[in-house]
């Protein structure tokens, strides 16, 4: 699919300077940059959707973990101590 992008002259010059002396073309640089930013935007959307789903599950069940329990668990694991996973608590609505 052919696409045309109108870039400001200043940005065109910056991209040309970045790829100069490399084996990458300006086109390849722009494709890679668009790919990276697209993947980042998709990940951000997934993160947001996951957060909304977690909030909905918490509101529906009232089950959640105390931050202090999670911190203590991971601190112990980081120091090589065996520890049981924290148990969820029912939080007031």
pLDDT (tens digit per residue) in 39-84: 999 999 999 999 999 999 999 999 999 999 999 999 999 999 999 9
pLDDT score recorded for residue 66: 96
**Residues 83, 76: contact at Cβ < 8 Å?**
yes
pLDDT (tens digit per residue) in 10-27: 999 999 999 999 999 999
**pTM of structure:** 0.72
pLDDT score recorded for residue 1: 81
Evaluated on CA atoms 21, 10, 43, 67, the torsion sign reads positive
pLDDT score recorded for residue 2: 84
């Amino acid at each position: 699919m052919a696409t045309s992008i109108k870039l400001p002259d200043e940005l065109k010059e910056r991209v040309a300077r970045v790829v100069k002396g490399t084996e990458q073309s300006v086109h390849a640089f722009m494709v890679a940059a668009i790919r990276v930013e697209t993947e980042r935007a998709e990940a951000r959307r997934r993160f947001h959707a996951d957060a909304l789903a977690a909030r909905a599950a918490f509101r529906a069940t009232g089950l959640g973990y105390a931050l202090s329990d999670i911190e203590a668990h991971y601190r112990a694991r980081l120091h090589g101590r065996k520890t049981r996973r924290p148990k969820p608590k029912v939080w007031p609505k």
